[in-house]
Structure 1
Amino acid sequence: MSDQITPVIGLIGGSGLYDIEGLEDRRWERVESPWGEPSDELLFGTLAGVRCVFLPRHGRGHRVPPSELNYRANIDAMKRAGCTEILSLSAVGSLNGDLPPGTFVIVDQFIDRTFARKKSFFETGCVAHVSMAHPLCPRLGDALEAAARDVGLKYKRGGTYLVMEGPQFSTKAESELYRAWGCDVIGMTNMPEAKLAREAELCYATVAMVTDYDCWHPDHDHVTVDAVVKVLLENAGRAKDLVRAVVPMLGQPRGACPAGCDRALDAAIVTPPEKRDPALVAKLDAVAGRVLRAA
């Protein structure tokens, strides 16, 4: 790894975020992945002179539901596109009375309750175990907090995001259970995305944008779809302000990640080289090539 890295900022947009305005030299481009089809083409461009790559998580037109997203192809495509860090922007419901609609939460923990998704790049033929004790990059979190403060967002630094399978929403009993666990927000998309970003040695951070209260809240049944959509669109506009503020902060040449996100595979692969499946190793060329080539 060289002493200095020129960052390429990957942006994954959730519900309501299907484009990033203000990018210069913009072009939509298909990126092939051995893991299948990503959600959409990737949007390449520069913002304040910083290279950026944007992926609408659900595809333009919101075509793909959470359980059918090809998370592996999405993260692999972002890595192949040169991304060094990923900022995830995700619509969520609130499990915390102190986090009303319109609040942005810079998440620091997850609880993964998904069950119908491919969660690892590493399969039979090449086994690896990465640490997820601290699943979000604190360096990115620091930059997001500074940017949120600069643009006047209502935000909270730190919080636990419960990732449910969906596409249905929670029962009231589930919602109360997640609150009892100490969760702050609930959504359907950031797992296994965060796990795969860690396996791909990408710095990753989530901004969870609250659209409404989950069904535990006494006013939940009175919330209209129009009201939720209104907050969703307002949040999307504020998210674009946040992106414009944070990208220049993250775009300067830097050294290795202090948290070790970009070295997550250093001691993770347990299958010795002579036992590895060549076909799987070939598929892992982008996400794990740094360590596989060194073996």
Structure 2
Amino acid sequence: MIDLGIIGGTGFYKFFESTGERIVETPYGEPSAPVTLATWGGKRIGFIPRHGLHHEYLPHRVPYPANVAALKELGARQILGFNVVGSLSEHVSKGHFLLIDQFIDLTWGRDWTIFDRANGAHADLADPYCGRLRAQAIEALSDSPEVVHPKATALIINGPKFQTKAESRLYNSWGADVINMTQSTEATVAREMELCYVNLSFCTDYGVISEDLAPESGDPPVRHRDVVAYFNDNVARVEAAVRATVAALEDDAECGCRSALEGCWLNTEGHR
């Protein structure tokens, strides 16, 4: 059994030594990859690369319910989701870390809910990330030498294409801080499964409007290879932030996330 689930990119394999892996069957199909097991930060963790071992799952094709369910099947009741994001705000620079607290979801047509049959539930997502875990993560990173934004709003597009400049300028006018293609779906499914979910993001670029946000950077509109290169150049920094966060996350069986669907069911009989 694991204490904590982590969902992130394939670069996470550089962070820990595996003690084994588990192939997990779920009611929602196969996860992106077998769950890698490790002991890390004093905790037994299970890790899933959301895009698969070879990045074979693009954002709109990631099996989100299966990924979250696989970690729950192994005992995790709390999940850390790690993302790389692009900036949409002059206040967020490349190299900054963010503990996302809100999102605007513009995704469509993906496998995004466990409630696709009769007698499901309308999950409450007013505060889509676990406030208890967010507080622990904020405290853990408070002495970090990094710039850490304790709250931020992420704008989630469907992908796999990047956004246009007009779209980015619109999202900026809405007050969104960063842009991403995955985390709203993951957070939604975790809430539907009554799990605690917290997100740590790392800003790798200025999206397609670097001339608006950081003209001094001279960066062209972002390409995927730029994201990968910047992440790889900063792996040590990311690892330190993630390790500090993992070490600080403590479980609490009484957390409100564990009963998040109370009062949300369409039919109160036989839903458990």
Does TM-score exceed 0.5, indicating one fold? Answer: yes
Asked if 1:175 is matched to 2:168, the reply is yes
Per-residue Cα deviation, 1:112-168 (whole angstroms, up to 9, x for no partner): 000121222112222201110000112211222223234422211111000000100
Instruction: Give the number of aligned pairs.
Output: 266
Structure 2 unaligned blocks of 5 or more: 212-217
What is the letter of the counterpart of residue 231 of structure 2?
L
- Superposed, which structure 2 residues align to 1:250-289 within 5 Å? 250-251=249-250, 254-257=252-255, 260-273=256-269
Asked if 1:64 is matched to 2:64, the reply is no
What corresponds to 1:30 in structure 2? 23
Kindly tell me: are residues 206 and 238 of structure 1, through their superposed partners in 2, closer, same or farther at Cα, counting changes over 3 Å?
same
The 3-state SS of whatever aligns with 2:132 is: helix
Match of 1:141 among 134, 143, 146: 134
Match of 2:199 among 196, 199, 206: 206
What corresponds to 1:284 in structure 2? none
The 3-state SS of whatever aligns with 1:192 is: helix
Per-residue Cα deviation, 1:230-274 (whole angstroms, up to 9, x for no partner): 3211444323212322223224x64511xx11111222212243x
What is the letter of the counterpart of residue 249 of structure 2?
L
CA distance in structure 2 between the aligned counterparts of 1:222 and 1:214, rounded to whole angstroms: 6
Aligned-pair identity (%) = 37
Match of 2:186 among 193, 199, 223: 193
Structure 1 unaligned blocks of 5 or more: 1-5, 277-290
What is the letter of the counterpart of residue 265 of structure 2?
I
Q: Is the 8 A contact 1:18 1:59 kept in 2?
A: no
What is the letter of the counterpart of residue 269 of structure 1?
W
CA distance in structure 1 between the aligned counterparts of 2:198 and 2:239, rounded to whole angstroms: 16
What is the letter of the counterpart of residue 37 of structure 1?
E
Greater shift in the superposed pair: 151-160 or 221-230: 221-230
- How far 1:222 moved relative to its partner? 6.5
Match of 1:91 among 84, 90, 102: 84
Kindly tell me: are residues 235 and 129 of structure 1, through their superposed partners in 2, closer, same or farther at Cα, counting changes over 3 Å?
farther
Per-residue Cα deviation, 1:72-126 (whole angstroms, up to 9, x for no partner): 1111111111111111110111001121111111111000000121222112222
TM-score normalised over the length of structure 1: 0.83
What corresponds to 2:32 in structure 1? 39
Per-residue Cα deviation, 1:13-41 (whole angstroms, up to 9, x for no partner): 13x53426335x71111111121111001
CA distance in structure 2 between the aligned counterparts of 1:31 and 1:224, rounded to whole angstroms: 34
- Superposed, which structure 2 residues align to 1:104-253 within 5 Å? 104-218=97-211, 219-221=218-220, 228-251=227-250
TM-score normalised over the length of structure 2: 0.89
CA distance in structure 2 between the aligned counterparts of 1:95 and 1:250, rounded to whole angstroms: 28
What is the letter of the counterpart of residue 13 of structure 1?
G
